Amino acid sequence: MESDHETTTQDAEPSATVPWPFPDLSARSGGLELRYPDDELLVAVATVAAAGLHAEHLLPFNSPWTRGTPVEVARRVLAYAWGKRAAMSPADWTIDLAVLVDGVPAGLQGMTARDFAVARTVKTGSWLGRAHQGRGLGTRMRALMLHLAFAGLGAEVASTAAWADNGPSIGVTRKLGYMPNGRQVESRDGRAAEKLQYRLTRADWEENAAVRLPDVTLTGTEQVREFLRIR
């Protein structure tokens, strides 16, 4: 890897006595950080979602979780995150990280995997508060999560999907070098809608220096790898 894209890893020695290794997990590049949220940070992130993510007539997600009062939206963020924590296992896991810009919560960047120790494939998803959109942050936070997935956890493939009318998400995906990987029709809000699939391999990610962030620091990856049985 080129010198201006070096990865620094800061890890304590893995220990079987650590009951929950995720609080130390983070990825940083400059003023951008992806950090595993404790409950205080998670509430702050939920407040960002409650302030609005998109125009009312749009539905960029698989379910209409952004509809309702600010309190209802915030509660859904909390319930979803707590549910994923409780269901975490090496066979089926979701890692959601708070997006911080100069320490200010701006959104959430996640990745999910099933049978990762064998398949080495993750799927990413994210959202960003409206006040933070339009500045290229969506591209940078996905790029940082890809760095964590490939360089930190040993992924071989990253996939993502977006509704065909979700231009911003598709734009980020294309910028980062994903290749089209099919399309399918699914139900969205009770109506048929087309979803586009994309795929990025480790080899393509490593070869394309332009899509990697500089001076990335990863923290807590060894403990997480141990918990998820990633060798």
pLDDT at 1: 40
Q: How confident is the model at residue 8 (pLDDT cuts 50, 70, 90)?
A: confident
Of the candidate ranges 65-74, 157-166, 212-221, the one whose mean pLDDT is the lowest: 65-74
Q: How confident is the model at residue 19 (pLDDT cuts 50, 70, 90)?
A: confident
How far is the C-alpha of 159 from the C-alpha of 204, rounded, in Å?
A: 13
pLDDT at 152: 97
For the question of whether the overall pTM of this predicted structure is more than 0.95, the answer is no
pLDDT at 43: 96
Of 158, 185, 187, 188, the residue nearest 173 (C-alpha) = 158
How far is the C-alpha of 3 from the C-alpha of 96, rounded, in Å?
A: 29
pLDDT at 67: 83
Sequence-distant (6+) residues with CB within 8 A of 138 are 126, 128, 168, 169, 172
Element holding 100 (H helix, E strand): strand 92-101
Do residues 161 and 195 make contact, with C-beta atoms less than 8 angstroms apart?
A: yes
Strand partners, 191: 188
**More confident position, 17 or 8:** 8
Q: How confident is the model at residue 76 (pLDDT cuts 50, 70, 90)?
A: very high
pLDDT, tens digit, 9 for 90 and up, residues 140-196: 999 999 999 999 999 999 999 998 988 889 999 999 999 999 999 989 888 898 999
Q: Report the chain's mean pLDDT, rounded to a whole number.
A: 90
pLDDT at 3: 42
pLDDT at 52: 74
The fold adopted by the segment(s) 17-227 is Aminopeptidase (3.40.630)
Q: How confident is the model at residue 87 (pLDDT cuts 50, 70, 90)?
A: very high
